[in-house]
Chains A and B, each alone.
Chain A
Amino acid sequence: MAKLIELNGISKSFDGEKVLDSINFYIRDGEFVTLLGPSGCGKTTLLRIIGGFETADEGNLYFDGVEISDVPAHKRNINTVFQKYALFPHLNVYENIAFPLRLKKISEEDIQTRVRDMLGMVKLSGFENKSVSTLSGGQQQRVAIARALISHPKVLLLDEPLGALDLKLRKDMQNELKSIQQKIGITFVYVTHDQEEALSMSDTIAVMAEGEIQQIGTPTDIYNEPKNAFVADFIGESNIVDGIMLEDNRVKFSGHIFDCVDGGFGENEAVDVVVRPEDVDVVAPEAGMLTGKVTSVTFKGVHYEIIVDIRGFKWMIQSTDYVSPEATIGIYIEPDAIHIMKKSKYSGMFGDYSSFSDEMDRLSDADAAEEF
């Protein structure tokens, strides 16, 4: 697949505060790319630069090999689905969708067929004459998507489009968006702070933090091979402990030497070790590689979430077997469940569950949802 959009050293500051710090990134034709990050990481600004609503302070933006840094939004073959839909309240559903076509010299019959087709695709046939203010959030969302797609853009930008929908509807729309993208085969650039959404929809994910891209890769790469503590923590749950890489395939952490499958580090190099909670097996204390005391057990439906204190570090373990709080348990970790990362500026900031609470997690999610 050819490069469709290329960003070259894009930087942007607002009121002297750097929001984007020399972003280099490209998007291939027909790809579903997600910019994923917490609120304030610059993902929306990056999207707005691609859409033409902001101009970068530095750097170049190429579209199909042509520089478009100074091309205004209405001349870009890129359309946007806005976070709050931005439907035109003075027009009905039909006219909202027909809007981009009315700006061009297109015959009334053509407009009619295209709008009808589009309404069919977003499953809103029969809604032509409804006022947009009478539609539900999900329906408004569909109108916004139809309106953005009707002029056949090469790229669709979506700015947290599902943020305002409830959970059930959000899941349905995720599938629908993905299937629309596959059906029409154009590039989608999707902005979200929801890692699950990103993992389930994207071909490529770019994880952003503090105005920088932390890692670009497929969902599996990002999940299984996070590049640093930030990515490991942001995508899914992770236990991140300090370790020493003794030699290739041998790492020491929590006072025990483990076999692992990573290599290429210096001898006795300090590293971050990531172990996903679902990869930790609970065993009898005497059979465990490490032992610790259970401090809390929470039933989560598919599994129990167990917090274990191992040498002062709180691990999270997800297990389908119940263990009682206060019990001493052993844990066993397969070599390929251990992922080694180089030390970064995020080392030591994440991955310890001593201050963990569900409520805090939800609160920070809500904050992120209110980014705009």
Chain B
Amino acid sequence: MKKKHSIMRSIAAAPHVFWSILFIILPLIIVVYYAFTDSEGSFSFENILSLADYAPIFALSLELSVIATFICLIIGYPMAYIIAKAKPERQKLYIMLLMLPMWTNLLIRTYSIMAILDDGGFLNSLLNTSLHIVGTKGAVIFGMVYDFLPYMVLPIYTCVSKIDKNMWEAASDLGCKPVQVMTRVILPLSTSGIISGVTMVLVPSISTFYISQKLGGGTFELIGDTIERQFVTGALNTGAAISLVMMILILISLSVMNRFTDSDEGGIIV
């Protein structure tokens, strides 16, 4: 009986296992293979060792994505909180409005921002100014915030809306001023949502390439651009090495962040 059950289970799981092997495990093996071989296909540490040259680019990527994530958090938390505390029928509307831009392709949205912010763009002609925005760090950060904000808001919203409404009353009943209700009870209880949100914004912004290409105006390069360039120019081994190191760094930071969430809900993989 038990055996039969487990056979059924394997049959049901087969397509998923097949999918995982074909599109997750196999590509990973290929990445690792390329990272540790040279262009002739023999084993080599060259690619990994050459990564030191890319440290400044990596530092810049980290700087911009951390700033963008922080801004997303500052804007996203109050937004998520307000949505979570709105009337149920209003909540649906707000969430839809939040998701609405995501129905448009990310690339197209980035192009539109470029068209708006460009030196001769919509904003400058509207204000009749000659602001130089595209090509600055600010523009890239703005692009990241604009593109990834919903990923910050949604997990925090889910987390805050799950908090028992008695928590607010209990906190104030026990003597918390309104600010203390937030700092001592509600914020700690939203940690898992915040960590999910931070991860979901930080990871795509650290490895983005089109935002920096379009809004960076070609003036600076982020790690995503570097990886893209390696593959476009055929330097598969270096590209694979950078990707592999990025992946490992992200895995490490995710597991560190997961340490802060002891509850298993709202957490992320690893």
Chain A residues packing against B (C-beta within 8 Å): 51-53, 72-74, 78-80, 82, 84, 86-90, 99-100, 102-104, 147-148, 151
Contacts and interface: CB of A to CB of B under 8 A. Distances in A.
A80 B172 contact: no
A100 B175 CA distance: 6
Contacts of B263: 89
Contact of B169 (A53, A87, A151): A53
B188 A90 contact: yes
A372 to B, nearest CB: 10
B167 interface: yes
B175 A84 contact: no
B166 A89 contact: no
A86 B188 CA distance: 15
Interface of B: 164, 166-167, 169-177, 180, 184-185, 188-189, 191, 263
A103 B164 contact: no
A79 B174 contact: yes
A84 B164 contact: yes
Main secondary structure of the interface of A (DSSP, over half): loop
14 contacts: A51-B173, A53-B173, A73-B169, A73-B173, A74-B172, A74-B173, A79-B173, A80-B169, A86-B169, A89-B189, A90-B189, A104-B175, A148-B174, A151-B174
B185 A88 contact: yes
A72 B172 contact: yes
Contacts of B188: 90
Contacts of B170: 80, 82, 86-88
A192 B77 CA distance: 39
Given A88-B185, A90-B188, A90-B189, A82 B175 contact: no
B174 A103 contact: yes
Contacts of B171: 88
Contacts of A90: 185, 188-189, 191
Given A88-B185, A89-B189, A90-B189, A103 B176 contact: yes
Contacts of B169: 51, 53, 73, 80, 82, 86
Contacts of A103: 174-176, 180, 184
B166 A82 contact: yes
A76 to B, nearest CB: 8
